[in-house]
Structures are given as C-alpha cells and as structure tokens.
Amino acid sequence: MPILEIRRDSGYADRLRAYEVLVDSAVVGELRDGEVKQFPIATGDHELRIKIDWCGSIPVKFNVGEGEVAAFEANSALRGGAIMGALWRALVARNTYVKLNRVS
C-alpha cells in the first residue's frame, strides 16, 4: 500500500495549533509543530492540501504507485519579515498561508 509522508517544520507561527491534512478533500489526520506523520493512501492520482482554520496551502496534485512513499514538507509562510504580512495572508491570500512542497 502506498504511503503519504508529511513533515511539518517547527516555527513560531502556529506553534500551538495543528494543521489538518486533506487528501482528495477528505481529512486524513492532523500534523503538529515539528511532527512527521505517515498516512496510508490508495494507489493513483491524488490532491493534497493542508488547512488551518480558513487558511491553508495551494492544493498539490500527485501520483503514487504501489509500495511508494510520497513525501512532502509543510512549512509556515510566516517566516522572518513575512510575519508582518500575516493579516494579508489570512484575509486575502488564504491559500498561501502554508507552503507545501514535494521532497524526494
């Protein structure tokens, strides 16, 4: 069975709050500060998204085969000086609040 692995960085923003992990629009679990979690998923095409309240990431489409691991990193976009734009991201650019990238 394929595995979805997600690593969340540790940072100041959202430190005490969990991110929801959605695969194909269904919540499969949550991810806390600094955690790495694995979720079993079906073979084939999927769409991954991270949510926190009404904000989150841009959806990422991926394909996974039998026995493969699809690995991703979820990082807060509120780093360094970017934290000054937290209100703008929360109200206007809601899907850029979390950065979601596939890793090899």
**43: domain CATH number?**
2.60.40.1120
- Would you state the pLDDT for residue 84? 54
The list of the chain residues with pLDDT below 50 reads 88
- Would you state the pLDDT for residue 88? 47
- Report phi then psi at 67, rounded to 5: 80, 0
The SS3 of residue 94 is: helix
- Would you state the pLDDT for residue 71? 98
- Would you state the pLDDT for residue 77? 72
Count of structural domains within the chain:
1
83: left (phi over 0), alpha (psi -120 to 50) or beta: alpha
Q: For residue 92, what are the domain limits?
A: 3-103
pTM above 0.75, yes or no: yes
- Would you state the pLDDT for residue 50? 96
